[in-house]
Amino acid sequence: MDKNITLRFRKNGTFRILMISDLQETVNYDPRALRGLEAMISKTRPDLVVFGGDNADGRHLKTEAELSRYLEIFSRPMEEKKIPWMHVFGNHDYDIDVPAKKQMKMYAACPHCLSKTSPAGVPGVSNYVVPVLSSKSDLPAYAIFAFDTMYKLNSPKAGVPVEDILLEGNEPWTRKWDTLTFDQIAWYRRESKKLEKAAGGVVRAMAVMHVPPYEFQRVIDNPEKCRLEGFADQKLQCSMFNSGVFSAMLERGDVEIIAAGHLHRDNFAGEYAGILCTLDGCAGFSVKNFDERRGGRLFVINEKGGRKTEFISAAALLEEKE
């Protein structure tokens, strides 16, 4: 669906992004999840809302009719305020008994949803890029790359069973989850270079994915040097394989933020190799977590350079309203 929606830096040179991950509710949702989303949007006044995967709990929400009703409910806070929004898929979105491409069409049917199906030949369904134009011209000044980390790891080599890959080792924070592929990274490089050509220089960017990349563990292991803020007491649970996407982003020199979710209790921000690595705890209230860690994350991007982030506690905002 073609939509006449343009993202642009504000006249004051800022762009505000609210990241929400692991909402993970169903049509029988905890009402605090919806009220929390509404409260976070009111508090942060975002120019864009990004959902970081596990947007619905596909273990219990199964049918197309249920997903349609669910999207109607949880898109309402953005749609009523005409706020653009986008999403990536997480592993529990793949648990829904609706093909991911069909799910994407249902998301994209929402008037202010910017999500798009991956280009042909790129693994996964939610790989796409959304540009943010300059406050002073129609040139791209920033970009949000969406990456689909897909579902559980399959054997990448014929004849090698997956159980021979999921081995125990000295890195207990690796798990059964899939990894980004060479073709996804090649797609990112192509799109990054297209943006650079259009803008006449490297375009700063943010990358959003559900399962965090391997290098997030460096932030956890080096909290002082990486200036870690927040909670990092749950095992990371990234893929057994290092995809190489972090190295590719360093090489391109454009991505300055990687925002991920997946873990429900961890909620932190830290900087490694010049990239701000952030991990959202769950925003929903039906899954296990400590209430004070439920919420989202605000990013304020400055067009002239620099970025800030802060955790937005949904539970605290709901308490203020009581």
Q: Tell me: the pLDDT tens digits for 83-125?
A: 999 999 999 999 999 999 999 999 999 999 999 999 999 999 9
Per-residue pLDDT at 1 exceeds 60: no
CB neighbours of residue 158 within 10 Å: 5
Q: What is the number of structural domains in the chain?
A: 1
pLDDT digits (tens, 9 = 90+) for 219-228: 999 999 999 9
Residue 244: alpha-carbon gap to chain centroid = 18
| Residue 293 domain-assigned (yes or no) | yes
Q: Which two tokens stand for residue 48?
A: 């864009």
Per-residue pLDDT at 202 exceeds 60: yes
8: helix, coil or strand? strand
The Cα 280–Cα 287 span in angstroms is: 14
pTM for this one?
0.96
What type of residue sits at position 211? V
Q: What's the pLDDT score for residue 153?
A: 87
pLDDT digits (tens, 9 = 90+) for 191-200: 999 999 999 9
DSSP 278: E
The Cα 320–Cα 190 span in angstroms is: 46
- The answer to whether the CB of 36 falls within 8 A of the CB of 21 is no
Give the side-chain half-sphere CA count within 13 A for 24: 27
- The answer to whether the CB of 130 falls within 8 A of the CB of 7 is yes
The Cα 227–Cα 219 span in angstroms is: 8
- Write the CB contacts of 320 (distance below 8 Å, at least 6 apart in sequence): none
pLDDT digits (tens, 9 = 90+) for 302-319: 999 999 999 999 999 998
DSSP string, 192-240: HHHHHHHHTSPPPEEEE-SSPPTTHHHHHH-TTTTT-EEE--S---EES
pLDDT tier for residue 167 given thresholds of 50, 70 and 90: confident
More confident of the two residues 161 and 301: 301
The Cα 211–Cα 219 span in angstroms is: 15
CATH number for the domain that contains residue 30 = 3.60.21.10
Domain limits at 154? 14-321
pLDDT digits (tens, 9 = 90+) for 47-61: 999 999 999 999 999
Q: What is the mean pLDDT of the chain?
A: 94
| Residue 8 domain-assigned (yes or no) | no
| Residue 1 domain-assigned (yes or no) | no
Main-chain dihedrals φ then ψ at residue 99, nearest 5 degrees: -55, 145
- The answer to whether the CB of 231 falls within 8 A of the CB of 263 is no
pLDDT tier for residue 234 given thresholds of 50, 70 and 90: confident
| Residue 7 domain-assigned (yes or no) | no
The Cα 51–Cα 103 span in angstroms is: 14
- The answer to whether the CB of 93 falls within 8 A of the CB of 58 is yes
The Cα 230–Cα 310 span in angstroms is: 10
Determine what percent of the chain falls in helix, strand and coil, rounding each to the nearest 5. Answer: 25, 25, 50
Q: What's the pLDDT score for residue 322?
A: 64
Q: CA-based diameter of the chain, in Å?
A: 59
DSSP string, 107-122: HHTSTTB---PPPTTS
Closest CA to 281 of 272, 103, 127, 292: 292
pLDDT tier for residue 26 given thresholds of 50, 70 and 90: very high
| Residue 253 domain-assigned (yes or no) | yes
Give the side-chain half-sphere CA count within 13 A for 48: 29
| Residue 5 domain-assigned (yes or no) | no
| Residue 6 domain-assigned (yes or no) | no
